[in-house]
Structure 1
């Protein structure tokens, strides 16, 4: 039986490893406009202005870049315990931890590919200090006066050795709904997009061409408008931020995008998917063929080679 929709309320935050912590912090604060909201040794907690929780992003110093933990907030304590039971019934190992500011206990486990997931319920709502207090009381924090000013952490794109096994973990164990996928001519699922909410996607798995496990393709931050992404491209070339591809529009999910690399080497997407919602409870899974994907992005831009080869941590 499929788990009930809504046990996972939304993606809470993500953790990135970086070999250059100071430069990565500068990128996320000066270029993207996030705010530092705490530091613990070699770990820095940052937040977007419209996130209601303590942090949206955790940066931790490591020798190599990559994805640490993805955190998913449950919709209640009962929902959290239901998902923990579902995870344990699959035979997957997990443990309880309480090691992040502003958040209660987390149940830490991994997906079949080895990406660390933490599920939690208890969360402290952010209260802005006087200098960051917004004029509108229904906004957690004043809009930043620097950088792009991204609104929220939007989604995580995992690389996986086996897309289908991992996507079905999200669907059948955590309760995500699949919305779109790529199926190759040989029948293999090469990518699948899934959502926990009424957004068209929250997590994505794409095939790791190296056959590696546990790597990251990108994390994405949502902007208010498409024009913010165009402005981000101008800011990038003015400040030396490497642009990998875009601005352009994806065919799958119709996301307007810009892909850049942060100084640690992790790929970051700026996206504007705010106009696409999946409200139908019986949304049909949209399947794209190999031939359809060969046509490129929505307006014909061909997918560049590095989009298939670059991931973190790097492999030989």
Structure 2
């Protein structure tokens, strides 16, 4: 039986590192249509229009690219305490720190690969200023009038030295459950998709070809429709943003996708918001074989080579 859902409510926000802070801010505001809310030191705080919380993304200037942390909101104070206890019983350590981006007390820990994961419950709800007030009272903010207007931060895809060890941590310490995976002919799990909710996935681990730890494959944002993703491809073309692959449809999870590189070098996915829901409480993990994955994506597009080799921060070739 899969782990019961509930202690982790959802993916809260992500902090990305970028060596080109101004250019990265331009990408997320002018191409993705996110709203800048504040700046602190070398960090810029941004939000998607349908986020009830203050912040969806923090961009921090740094000497290189990559992910600094992923933040997950617990469903209650008791749920947060249970997850902290489970993390420590799993054998991982952590510490309490002040929250950022409108969040309260935060437990900062790491997965076995060294990725920082922040757990919190207390959070400030966003109050739109007059010029961003929506027409509908059940929407936190008016839709932006620039870019494609991404609705939410959808998922994080980490690179990991050991996919199984990292997803075992998510499942046993944080209460996630796996929905799909790739198993190589050797028996190794080279990719696993996990969820904390009824979405088909929230956090993914893919095998890092370099054997490195702590790197990022991509983060993903969901706009309203497939048409928005097609429009994003045109905007990227018009403004010199690198399109890595897509628009197309994944076989795994059936996600309609477009992959771009933001100016700092991090891979960003735009994915359709109607990703499959996993409603079955006794869901069995869907396993894809090496031969099945060699067929490419859902409509026959072969997976581009850089999808297996590009990650951040970059690693020098041997």
Which range, TM-score by smaller chain? over 0.9
In 2, the alpha carbon distance for the partners of 1:209 and 1:101 equals: 33
Q: Is the 8 A contact 2:224 2:273 kept in 1?
A: no
Hey, what does 2:126 align to over in structure 1?
126
In 2, the alpha carbon distance for the partners of 1:47 and 1:8 equals: 21
Q: CA RMSD in A?
A: 1.0
SS at match of 1:191: strand
Deviation at 1:89, TM superposition (A): 1.3
SS at match of 2:26: helix
In 1, the alpha carbon distance for the partners of 2:115 and 2:47 equals: 22
In 1, the alpha carbon distance for the partners of 2:218 and 2:301 equals: 19
Hey, what does 1:105 align to over in structure 2?
105
Deviation at 1:49, TM superposition (A): 0.1
CA deviations over 1:58-106 (Å, ceiling 9, x no partner): 1001000000110000000000000001111122111111141311011
In 1, the alpha carbon distance for the partners of 2:101 and 2:69 equals: 14
SS at match of 2:229: helix
In 2, the alpha carbon distance for the partners of 1:89 and 1:252 equals: 33
Hey, what does 2:252 align to over in structure 1?
252
Hey, what does 1:219 align to over in structure 2?
219
Hey, what does 1:315 align to over in structure 2?
315
In 2, the alpha carbon distance for the partners of 1:232 and 1:291 equals: 32
Is 1:150 the equivalent of 2:161?
no
Greater Cα shift, 205-214 or 94-103: 94-103
CA deviations over 1:233-279 (Å, ceiling 9, x no partner): 00110011100000000000000000000000000000004141111
Hey, what does 2:165 align to over in structure 1?
165
Is 1:57 the equivalent of 2:52?
no
Hey, what does 2:271 align to over in structure 1?
271
In 2, the alpha carbon distance for the partners of 1:244 and 1:35 equals: 25
Deviation at 1:51, TM superposition (A): 0.4
Q: Is the 8 A contact 1:3 1:174 kept in 2?
A: no
SS at match of 1:81: helix
Matches for 1:1-12 after TM superposition, within 5 Å:
4-12=4-12
Deviation at 1:2, TM superposition (A): 7.4
In 1, the alpha carbon distance for the partners of 2:23 and 2:242 equals: 14
Hey, what does 2:82 align to over in structure 1?
82
Hey, what does 2:181 align to over in structure 1?
181
Q: Which runs of 4+ in 1 moved over 4 A?
A: 1-4
In 2, the alpha carbon distance for the partners of 1:84 and 1:3 equals: 16
In 2, the alpha carbon distance for the partners of 1:3 and 1:279 equals: 13
In 2, the alpha carbon distance for the partners of 1:30 and 1:225 equals: 18
Structure 2 residue runs without a partner (length 5+): none
Deviation at 1:5, TM superposition (A): 1.8
TM-score, normalization: structure 2? 0.98
Deviation at 1:3, TM superposition (A): 5.7
Q: Is the 8 A contact 1:3 1:173 kept in 2?
A: no
SS at match of 2:60: strand
> In the comparison of the two structures, how many residue pairs are matched?
316
In 1, the alpha carbon distance for the partners of 2:215 and 2:267 equals: 12
CA deviations over 1:98-120 (Å, ceiling 9, x no partner): 14131101100000000000000
Hey, what does 2:72 align to over in structure 1?
72
Is 1:41 the equivalent of 2:34?
no
In 2, the alpha carbon distance for the partners of 1:168 and 1:88 equals: 14
In 2, the alpha carbon distance for the partners of 1:306 and 1:239 equals: 22
Hey, what does 2:13 align to over in structure 1?
13
Is 1:210 the equivalent of 2:218?
no
